[in-house]
Amino acid sequence: MNAYVESVIENVKRKHGNEPEFVQTVEEVFTSIAPMVDKHPEYEKADLLNRMVEPERMFTFRVVWTDDNGQAHTNIGYRCQFNGAIGPYKGGLRFQANVNPSIIKFLGFEQTFKNSLTGLPMGGGKGGSDFDPAGKSDAEIMRFCQSFMSALYRYIGPDIDVPAGDMGVGGREIGYLYGQYRRLKGVWENGVLTGKGFSYGGSLIRPEATGYGAVYYLQEVLKHENDTIEGKRIAISGYGNVGWGIMKKAAELGAKVTYFAGPDGYIHDPDGVVGEKLDYILEMRAKDPMHCKPYADKYGVEFVPGEKCWGVKDVDIYMPAATQNDVRMESAEKIAASGVKYYIEVANMPTTNDALDYLRSQKHMIVAPSKAVNAGGVGVMTILQGVFSQYPDEVLSNIRNEKGEFAFISFVFNDLNNMNPNESIYEYKNIDGAGIVNINSLTGIDTTHKYIEVEVLIPGLGSVGKVLVYNFNYQGK
């Protein structure tokens, strides 16, 4: 390995040896880029790598809240603004009992590279708290979120730092956080938080976006191998927004998730999670996110308690989509022995370094890295919320036309009440303004509420689903 890379890794181990997750991700990333560093001696002269492993800013803060019985509780809040070289810091907030500085730094480091891979102007950051929403009432979660934002709001903003959701932080928590931010600032800054509800500035497809993006990345992997997704059987871990998005998009594309694992064990459904089962996943998760056994009880399928599905042989693809270090060496050996060809990382650092090296060494396997695979979520919410908020007078979205050209889209309608989905009713303008291409991909119209439904494509990811568009230039007859 490159001597400079080795020295940086050893420096991180010496300085941050008490932060195992952070050390792990630095070692994984820098080991993989060593060949590139060999070709660029100027990196060492500028000490680029040592600069990259130190966050630009990281701070903690006290979060005091009261439960429904009036008892006060104190938690720790974190925000790591890791790197803002190419844009505002961007990354989620995680509320989970095991959150600590190591996990926040590892996530911020990974987020920096993931965001850069989208090609969008976003830096990397991460935050959260050791507060666990599980078992808390809505009122308790609201009071915690309000206290959390009261300490954080001074340090974020649309052009400074844009938090989002993560584990333990969904639409409910984002709503409470944004409400407190607006109360404190006295302004409507739509771009300060992503993951908001659709009714107050959020994206319709944000919950599915990361899972959708992972499946589109999988499609590209299969295409590279002269293979297709139709008929593929998939085993995943996790059934939160990411896992649910994988289930949903896989079903739409002719594949099916036949295994999924939760904290209490794993489910085997040979018919796949399709149709009404997708709705039940949401219902089950809302009632009790820690147990997937109710799915087996309802649909009469196999449930294996206390185990993960890594190593099953009757699948074509593995997609770990739960949390960090989900797949360790013992599981990696089972995966390799199963004969399954495709291993697609979806969660943040779901595989330990030794297990990942082992899987990569298997000649029969294709391994796709998480930083690229799970970039769909941040890409979607930045495009669909950030870009729209910058151009309130017309809808501009970074998508492609049928020729694959990167372009902006401008909607111009002549008669809102007499739209025909089969006609070319809006214009597609190339980014350089040269030429106009008519598009026929309108999928839905609602003349009462004055919105349209269009399919959104992102370069490198393909279709990320449908989005309702309210803001457009309407030119009546």
Q: DSSP per residue over 391-422, as a string?
A: -TTS----EE-TT--EEEEE-EES-GGG--TT
- Taking 70 as the pLDDT cut, the residues of the chain under it are 202-207, 376-477
Say if residue 72 is exposed, middle or buried (CB neighbours under 10 Å; 0-12, 13-18, 19+).
Answer: exposed
Say what angle helices 101-117 and 20-32 make with each other, to 10 degrees.
Answer: 30
Q: Which residue has the tokens 């495009």?
A: 383
CB-CB contact of 85 with 123 (8 Å): yes
User: For residues 120 and 461, is the Cβ–Cβ distance under 8 A?
Assistant: no
How many CA atoms, within 13 angstroms, populate the side-chain half-sphere of residue 359? 30
Q: Is 126 part of the annotated catalytic residue set?
A: yes
Distances, alpha carbon 138 to alpha carbons 143, 144, 145, in Å = 9, 10, 10
Structure tokens at 10: 């050893």
Helices and strands counted in the chain (H then E): 17, 21
Spatial distance between the Cα atoms of 225 and 217, rounded to a whole number of angstroms: 13
CA dist 334 → 97, 310, 313, 337 (Å): 30, 7, 9, 5
> pLDDT for 173-221, tens place per residue?
999 999 999 999 999 888 899 888 777 776 655 667 788 888 988 998 9
pLDDT digits (tens, 9 = 90+) for 254-311: 999 999 999 999 999 999 999 999 999 989 988 887 889 999 999 999 999 999 999 9
Q: Where are the beta strands (DSSP E) in 253-376?
A: 256-262, 265-268, 302-305, 317-320, 342-344, 366-368
Half-sphere exposure (Cβ direction) of 385: Cα atoms closer than 13 Å: 28
Query: What contacts 24+ positions apart, CB below 8 Å, involve 225-231?
Result: 225/341, 225/366, 229/253, 229/254, 229/255, 230/254, 230/255, 231/255
Q: Yes or no: say if 319 and 80 are a contact pair by the CB < 8 Å rule.
A: no
- Of the listed 114, 126, 196, 371, which one is catalytic? 126
Query: Across the strands, what pairs with 442?
Result: 454
Q: How many CA atoms lie within 13 A of 259 on its CB side?
A: 24
Q: For residues 82 and 126, is the Cβ–Cβ distance under 8 A?
A: yes
The three-state (H, E, C) secondary structure of 200-245, written as one string: HCCCCCHHHHHHHHHHHHHHHHHHHCCCCCCCCEEEEECCCHHHHH
SS3 72: strand
Distance, in Å, from the CA atom of 258 to the CA atom of 267, rounded to the nearest integer, reads: 8
